[in-house]
A and B are shown apart, each in its own frame.
Chain A
């Protein structure tokens, strides 16, 4: 009896994974068709690219249509959509890992000071922009350096005799984060004209996407996600308690260190290129936990796919709903995500959303 249940569960999980994967592919194709471009003839109302043209361009028959269709679909929309998938995936996996690691339902990828660290780095780059060369990589570079330095500093401060207590780490993260937020606010206050660039960076957005950015983000995020997946079973044990995990023969300190490094790394890369996109890393893990349960072996890949799908749709809304103007995507993720999340919580009041519940 028990064995049959177990088999059923495995099949159900595979089904969920497969259908989410199909949904992601489907999403990418559909979303590529959505957008507004300028009027080809000159003055007038913006035009839309016909669906048929999108399919033709994607299947290599773009020569049937004006050149500009191909440029827009292949050079503007596709890299942006793929970056949204990668970033959504990174934030969701990082959030899932942090929630498991800290055994805290409030945890998200930015918990240990990553976001304010990146923001200070980015502001630094924006303020210094005149003296260093102008490149699309300077702000992402400084943002990722800021994020990594902050996480490293938090880790060093929280460490005592080679061990890390998650409670200390969390509190240190909050303290360092508040400090950096103050630094950030002061920089914004003093920035004058450049204030708006910093503010806008903080709201997050995928408009910086290009193939080069995708090429840089892809290997880091995908491999980071794979490494975290390798430790899914260990993460399960740690969420149940560090002592029992040690008795199971797991090098808990080592695993914690690796998970912290890689979940910060993928979130850091995401933040570097897109600014601070909130909520994805917080609610996607919870939603998926309600759907598939707390076993990280399935929870992690499911969250990765769902995070990608969610952010792609959020970004599509962000770039089209007020076209030609664009809304920062962080506003959309919170606006759509929060009510849906509350609805899910209401439906599951038994407390299953708490990460270590089984």
Chain B
């Protein structure tokens, strides 16, 4: 009986207990009493009891959607970045979307948790493992946002209000695109910056909004959706319009832009076409993105919208 025999035995025990643990963990099934099954934006099948009354929202965009479709009074907890509309300030804060506080969430006994893609799949799995119902709203484009608004209305038995909102948003979008989709339209090149030198590339909301508003995105061929660009690239692409976001995260000023070496060679700086837009309405995939869209369209085509 030497040490190596003991080790062999112990390894055996480790292997067996390890695999048993995994087996037990994987085979644990939860039972659902379902009334509505939906596929959410992470592609998960979720069974939801219709008409939830205790909702927690884990991201600013889902909070804005809930309030916009008239379900704000059922929201019992929000993440700490949710700050719109004003009534949100009275709701219980459940931590940030990166580390939702499980103790607070469970003690609030929610019957539905709405999250965006700010919450990782791992964290969604953790919440579900605690027996909570989670729906992910992570729209990829404006149509997706409008669909999600209708979906939230359907879940909350508030379809009439949600569909009204969705219809009016669609009308506002169409009112703009009917003018900007004209093929004879001059399409100025646009650079939107959400953080110094960081911009919206293909596959991002910013890129979609510029195109729909009748502009050309200078960063439309980058590899990533939210790329960092160089001064060289920017000067070479010579945008006619420069837009930067202002808000909590951004402290850029017009002087910052015009003082950047070489940027004075761009048409945007030469003809003073530099604009600002609110960070929150640009970045959050909620109903206010239509406000951002209208503002962008006005900046890009002042001759069409006065």
Contact = CB atoms under 8 A, between A and B. Distances in A.
Interface of A: 35-40, 42-44, 46-47, 68, 71-72, 75-77, 126, 129-130, 134-139, 189-190, 192-194, 196-197, 200, 205, 207-208, 210, 212, 215-216, 219-220, 223-224, 226-227, 230-231, 258, 319, 323-326
22 contacts: A36-B104, A37-B103, A37-B106, A43-B92, A126-B120, A126-B121, A130-B121, A134-B42, A134-B121, A190-B224, A192-B225, A192-B226, A196-B98, A197-B120, A207-B99, A208-B126, A210-B126, A216-B22, A219-B18, A220-B14, A223-B14, A224-B14
A178 to B, nearest CB: 23
A39 B106 CA distance: 10
B193 to A, nearest CB: 16
Contacts of A76: 102-103, 106, 130
Interface of B: 3, 6-7, 10, 13-14, 17-18, 21-22, 24-26, 28, 42-44, 76-77, 80, 90-96, 98-99, 101-109, 117-118, 120-122, 124-126, 129-130, 223-226
Nearest to B136: A134
Contacts, number: 146
A324 B120 contact: no
A38 B103 CA distance: 7
A189 B227 CA distance: 9
Contact of A325 (B14, B80, B92, B107): B80
Given A190-B224, A194-B120, A324-B94, A38 B107 contact: yes
A37 B18 contact: no
Contact of A130 (B42, B90, B223): B42
B258 to A, nearest CB: 29
Contacts of B93: 324
A231 B224 contact: no
B21 A215 contact: yes
Contacts of A129: 120-122
A316 to B, nearest CB: 12
B103 A215 contact: no
B7 A134 contact: no
Given A139-B122, A230-B6, A210 B129 contact: yes
A126 B21 contact: no
A39 B117 contact: no
Given A43-B90, A230-B7, 4 more contacts: A39-B108, A130-B121, A196-B118, A208-B126
Contacts of B13: 219, 223
Contact of A44 (B3, B24, B92, B122): B92
B125 A136 contact: yes
A136 B126 contact: yes
A75 B104 contact: no
Name the residue in B21, B102, B109, B224 with the highest tally of chain A Cβ atoms < 10 Å from its Cβ: B102
Contacts of A226: 10
A224 B10 CA distance: 9
Given A37-B104, A193-B226, A219-B17, A258 B7 contact: yes
A90 to B, nearest CB: 13
Nearest to B25: A212
A42 B106 CA distance: 12
A192 B194 CA distance: 14
A325 B130 CA distance: 19
Contact of A35 (B28, B91, B99, B103): B103
Contacts of B125: 134-136
